[in-house]
Amino acid sequence: MTEDLLRPLLTTSWRFYVLVVVLVGIVMLGVGAFAYQVNQGIGVWGLNWPVFWAFDITNFVFWIGISHAGTLISAILRLVNAGWRRPVTRCAEVITAFALMIGAMFPIVHLGRPWLFFWLMPYPTERQIWPNFRSPLVWDFFAISTYLTGSLLFLYLPTIPDFALVRDRTTGFRRRIYGALALGWRGTTKQWHRLESAMQIMAIAIIPVAVSVHTIVSFDFSMAIVPMWHSTIFGPYFVAGAIFSGIAALIIAMAALRKFLHLEAYLHPVHFENLGKLLLMMSLLWGYFVFAERLTTWYGNDSAEMSVFWATQRGPYTPLYVTMVICNFVLPLLILSFRKFRTVAGCVIASCGVVVGMWLERFLIIVPTLSHKYLSYSWGSYRPRIPEILLLIATFGAMGLLYTLFSKFVPIISIWELKVGEQPELTEPVETSDEAATLWRTHP
């Protein structure tokens, strides 16, 4: 098992280089678009009065949502001690780390003068900027920083024993690098106990933090007195949507790893089936939230809110809205409700639909509202331009590139956790007396 799972680290095929070149090419498209934007100014985007948030903030919310795939799901599965989690957790945790980095980049990309990003930092200077803790944007900073720090540590800690495995199998420069990452890990009983305790604590701590992060992202909208934003449902609605899109991203990532790294022996169809069930449940929950939100708005019949409402039901955004409902609700329901369709391929198709649908959902939360504020004189429209589209495409390329490089240099499946999962179950409690005869474990 160890050799099999370390194979991607110790051998490199030409396909890896081709994939990296393609992904770097996609990322460079985004870098080029960003350079063009910096050179020409943010006017090269389609943003214009009254729509000042569009693709950029959609990408921000979308990627922060995707980040919920990993740490949150992994922490929940760890706490409930779900046995099938073992091959899944690290694949998931990696998504969190990279998705957060990509998402957190957008508030800076979105600045008209991104090179002055440090002006955002709240510290006392001659500019007299001082932390305004009442601003949701400052809450964002604290929440995302906490979640990113916690997620990186949550990813790193259980990787330490695996780094030690790689350290002992490599030589020269690689041995020194992996040795440094392993921190001199030996695997004494004390170290194992401390690591498992730490992971338990981290799992307990990270779940409320993960929930808070997307709640706070929703507060960026719901704290504003703007039609269809100022809603108490936004916190749980965003959290549910984030977990929903996160599970979809996890299924796609796992299927890609299974295919390209030949991990069929570890990522079984049952893992996809279980995640498919979770995705189906989240799809139903998402549908419930959308229905509750839309029904309440429609029943209230407030003119400002109804103008946004009708923009998505009978207006210019209707095709996007219908696509969103099909992708997020109809497609998962049709595929995942039936056991015979909950295959790897079925789950991947449903997940691809959900990723598209959830991006559209974020877009439809932001743009129709901003283009239909209270007074009709301030209504407007928005149409994306090529730099924005390239930036969006580049984020997917960046995710793929970071994920590919990570799985090349770090065991993408936790080897020691998988081994623990293969230990036979006890048939009776272990005695702890001094008598050797009673000490040994009884195998089934």
Partner 1 sequence: MATPAMYGLYDEPEAAQRAYSELQRAGVSAQEITVISAEPFEAFEFSQRDHSLLLFRLAAVGGLGGFILAVWLVTGTSRAWPINVGGMPIVAWWPYLVIIFELTMLSAILTTVASLLITSGLPSRVDSLYDPAVSDGKILVGVPLTSQRAPDAIRDALDAGGAVAVKTTEFRN
408 contacts: CB under 8 Å, gap ≥ 6: 8, 9, 12, 16
Residue 36: other Cβ atoms inside 10 A: 14
Question: Least distance to partner 1 from the beta carbon of 128, Å?
Answer: 8
Least gap, CB of 145 to partner 1 (angstroms): 8
Residue 138 as a binder of partner 1 (CB under 8 A): the answer is: yes
Name residue, tokens 């590919």: 404
Q: Rank residues 113 and 419 by Cβ distance to partner 1 and give the closer one.
A: 419
* Tokens 């006017």 belong to residue: 43
**Position 213, amino acid:** V
Buried b (16+ CB within 10 A) or exposed e, 403-440: bbebbeebbbbbbbbbeeeeeeeeeeeeeeeeeeeeee
Instruction: Count residues binding partner 1 (CB under 8 A).
Output: 64
Q: Per-residue contact track with partner 1, 162 to 181, x per CB under 8 A?
A: --xx-xxx---------x--
Local structure of 250: helix, strand or coil:
helix
Rounded CA gap, 348 and 350, in Å? 5
Contact 270, 347 (CB under 8 A): no
The rounded distance, in Å, linking the Cα atoms of 108 and 34 is: 11
- Phi/psi zone of residue 378: left (φ > 0), alpha (ψ -120 to 50 degrees), beta? alpha
> Which residue number, 128 or 301, has a Cβ lying nearer to partner 1?
128
Does 232 engage in binding with partner 1 (CB under 8 A)? no
The whole-angstrom separation of Cα 238 and Cα 227 is: 17
Residues 17-76 touching partner 1, rule: CB under 8 A, are none
13 lies in the site for partner 1, by CB under 8 A = no
CB of 168: closest distance to partner 1 in angstroms? Answer: 4
Q: By CB under 8 A, what part of segment 288-327 binds partner 1?
A: none
Instruction: Tell me if 191 sits within 8 A of 185, measured CB to CB.
Output: yes
Q: How far is the CB of 192 from partner 1 (least distance, A)?
A: 4
Least distance between partner 1 and beta carbon 244 (Å): 24
Q: Does 130 bind partner 1 (CB under 8 A)?
A: yes
- Give me the least distance between CB of 305 and partner 1, in Å please: 22
Among 365, 61, 54, 322, CA closest to 227: 365
CA distance 153 to 2: 23
* 121 binding partner 1? (CB under 8 A): no
Q: How far is the CB of 153 from partner 1 (least distance, A)?
A: 5
Phi, psi of 48 (to 5 degrees): -160, 160
Collect all residues with Cβ–Cβ distance below 8 Å to 434 and sequence separation of at least 6.
none
80 binding partner 1? (CB under 8 A): no
User: In whole angstroms, how close is the CB of 172 to partner 1 at the nearest point?
Assistant: 15
First and final C-alpha spacing in the chain: 22
Binding to partner 1 (CB under 8 A) within 340-369 occurs at: none
2 part of the interface to partner 1, by CB under 8 A: yes
Contact between 426 and partner 1 (CB under 8 A)?
A: yes
Contact characters 189-228, partner 1, x per CB under 8 A: xxxxxxxxxx--xx--xx-xx--x---x--x---------
The answer to the question of residue 157 lying near partner 1 (CB under 8 A) is: yes
Task: CB nearer to partner 1: give 83 or 124.
Answer: 124
Residue (301 or 423) nearer to partner 1, CB: 423
Binding-site ranges for partner 1 (CB under 8 A): 2, 124, 130-135, 138-139, 142-143, 145-146, 149-150, 153, 157, 160-161, 164-165, 167-169, 179, 183-198, 201-202, 205-206, 208-209, 212, 216, 219, 416, 419-420, 423, 426, 430-432, 434, 436, 439-441
